[in-house]
Structure 1
Amino acid sequence: MPDRHGPYRNSRYLLEIDDTIQAGFSEATIPSNSTEPTEYREGNESPTVRKLWSLNTFENLTLQWGTTDDSMAIFEWRKMVEQGQVDDARRDIAVIVLDEEGQPGPRWNFVRAWPVNYDAPDLNATDSQVAIESIEIAHEGMERVE
């Protein structure tokens, strides 16, 4: 049994799209989120502004994976957006961290996600690196759950 007194490793994770597991990603960049402060002061208050909360913003999720013959599902998802089918392309997705035994651990859920950018691999005949594809995914909210 893994030692759960320590942190999870960052090298084992899955992507879940509408309850379908996609594996084989070499890198997943979990985005940050923030709340924009708004400054406010009334004329009869001391000359110090108050900070009020405003809009919540969520950066995009980025995934990278090695190109294979069977890696078309995410590219096809992006193609829906290119064809103007953004509402049909929106999915609830999750990035799930796995423990040392491959069991699910913490997860980040992303609401109404859709791919905004696809980057094909750079090819170079004098290099021996793996061909890497990447996708950037916009979403309307993120939640960390266990």
Structure 2
Amino acid sequence: MADDGSAQSTTVWPLPKFRFEVKWDSAVMSFQEVSGLDVEAQPLEYRHGDSPAFSVIKMPGMKKYSDVTMKKGVFKSDNKLWDWFNEIKMNVIKRKPVTISLLDEAGKPTMVWTLANAWPTKITGTDLKAQGNEVAVETIVIAHEGLTIANA
């Protein structure tokens, strides 16, 4: 008898990455792509003068968070990204928490990335081509001061 898949374990298969949700404060926004969810510990090198080893010791140093890049389609009368970017005035910007949630089949969050004190550093409008056959897509690059991950 063939296996109909009803007895498969839910922990065996990795999650697909095509269903996700992005929240800025409490507003939900639709994006086509999110990238740059990474963090690294910068290594510190040290060697004391009477060390018998002729090499340095490497220790974990400060954490460095990458900027997050998000892409979305251009919609008529939707200027939310540009409005937020235009709030930058002489080192002043409203920083917002940004939450990216990977969703399961039922639309419930399974993994959640939260960016602390996020603010836009760059916006790129769509390119225009007279013979193009693509959707207009704009890009925003966001700097932040911390990335936390939670599993629902």
- Give the TM-score normalised by the residue count of structure 2: 0.86
CA drift of 1:32 comes to: 1.7
- The structure richer in helix per residue is 1
Where does 1:126-141 land on structure 2 (aligned, <5 Å)? 126-141=131-146
1:93: which partner in 2?
98
8 Å Cα contact 1:119-1:134 kept in structure 2:
yes
Residues 39-82 of structure 1: CA distance to partner in whole angstroms, max 9, x if unpaired?
Answer: 1111111222111222210110100011001431122111112x
CA drift of 1:94 comes to: 0.9
Residues 13-59 of structure 1: CA distance to partner in whole angstroms, max 9, x if unpaired?
Answer: 11111122222x11111332111111111111122211122221011
Where does 1:38-117 land on structure 2 (aligned, <5 Å)? 38-46=44-52, 47-81=54-88, 83-84=89-90, 86-87=92-93, 89-117=94-122
Residues 66-109 of structure 1: CA distance to partner in whole angstroms, max 9, x if unpaired?
Answer: 1001431122111112x33634x211111111112212220100
CA distance in 1, matches of 2:128, 2:44: 46
- Superposition RMSD on alpha carbons, in Å? 1.9
Structure 2 residue ranges without an equivalent (≥5): 1-5
- Identity in percent: 27
- Give the TM-score normalised by the residue count of structure 1: 0.89
CA distance in 1, matches of 2:92, 2:35: 23
Aligned residue pair count: 143
Match of 1:145 among 130, 141, 150: 150
CA distance in 2, matches of 1:90, 1:56: 20
CA distance in 2, matches of 1:86, 1:27: 28
CA distance in 2, matches of 1:96, 1:123: 31
Are 1:124 and 2:145 an aligned pair? Answer: no
CA distance in 2, matches of 1:70, 1:21: 17
Where does 1:11-22 land on structure 2 (aligned, <5 Å)? 11-22=18-29
1:33: which partner in 2?
39
Structure 1 residue ranges without an equivalent (≥5): none
